[in-house]
Amino acid sequence: MYRKQEVTSRKVLACILSVLAVFSIFTISAETASAAEIRVGGEAEACKGMFEVVKEQIQDETGTIVNVNHASSEQALLALDRGDIDIATTDIPLDNLISGLEKKGYLVLQESFQVQGIGTNSILVYLNKTNKVTVLSQKQIQDIFSGKINNWRQVGGDNQKIILVWSEDTVDLNALFSKYIMGSKSIAKNFAKASGQQEIIESVVKNAGAIGIASHVYKSGRTRNPKTPYVSAKIIAITKGAPGESAQKVLELVKSYDY
């Protein structure tokens, strides 16, 4: 009789444990499913400088997962309009983006979007860390990037050929640089081609005579930044309508981060 009761008790205990295990699995699944995800799209400098550096902090503090997709500012705005992403980030004013898209045949309604300032993007000139040049004027930068100056000796450096590293893929960055630094001057046709800002930095690191431009977020001890005219642009976050609670929490954390 006692053995029968013992067997029955074991069966009941096993049953209870099985139910608890199933309940735990459903609880974990529910928690995972309820984790908010915010999709961000935009130019590399805006994404890297504003969102990628705080992804882990955001997840730790809010439980929200931030997924970042690099794209041109115009592509990001179109993705936002379609509902493919939750936040588009850029350093180009919204009305400029919309007018640019209209010229390409896209109709996007400006009143559909809301804009928030979230930070500043600065454009820096990057040199190899062995380069002795410490200051470059706007005129010198114009002459270097237009090809008029082709040796570092002409601006106080060593007798070394200048290697201009340029990316045609960094459209927004190039537009700012051309507007505020180059003016009417055109970029030299003879340049070392890079696929993006990270590749510009890598090329500058590897080549003693190299020069390129990139966002301040790439600044490190691997390269040098001479004193140059200050060029910066306000980085904005664009949402379709008012941002949801999770998106707004992410934006507030990004704004509060000390860059």
Taking the domains of the chain in order of start, what are their residue ranges? 1-31, 34-119+235-256, 121-233
pLDDT computed for residue 217 by the predictor: 84
What span, in angstroms and rounded, lies between the C-alpha atoms of 196 and 169? Answer: 6
What span, in angstroms and rounded, lies between the C-alpha atoms of 145 and 201? Answer: 16
Give the residue carrying structure tokens 């529910």: 30
CA angle 70, 75, 80 (to 5 degrees): 90
What span, in angstroms and rounded, lies between the C-alpha atoms of 259 and 52? Answer: 12
Within 8 A by CB and 6+ apart from 26, the residues are: none
**Per-residue pLDDT at 80 exceeds 70:** yes
> Identical fold at 34-119+235-256 and 121-233?
yes
Task: Annotate 215-246 with b (16+ C-beta within 10 A) or e (fewer).
Answer: bebbeeeebbebebeebebebbbbbbeebeeb
Q: Which fold has domain 34-119+235-256?
A: D-Maltodextrin-Binding Protein; domain 2 (3.40.190)
- pLDDT-derived band at 3 (thresholds 50, 70, 90) equals very low
pTM: 0.72
- pLDDT-derived band at 151 (thresholds 50, 70, 90) equals very high
The least confident of 20-24, 64-68, 233-237 is 20-24
- pLDDT-derived band at 54 (thresholds 50, 70, 90) equals confident
Q: What is the pLDDT of residues 168-223, one digit of tens each?
A: 988 888 988 999 999 999 999 999 999 989 999 999 999 999 999 999 989 999 99
Q: Which fold has domain 121-233?
A: D-Maltodextrin-Binding Protein; domain 2 (3.40.190)
Scanning the chain, the segments in alpha helix (DSSP H) are 2-34, 44-50, 55-62, 73-82, 94-103, 138-146, 171-177, 197-206, 245-256
**Per-residue pLDDT at 96 exceeds 50:** yes
**Per-residue pLDDT at 90 exceeds 60:** yes
pLDDT computed for residue 154 by the predictor: 98
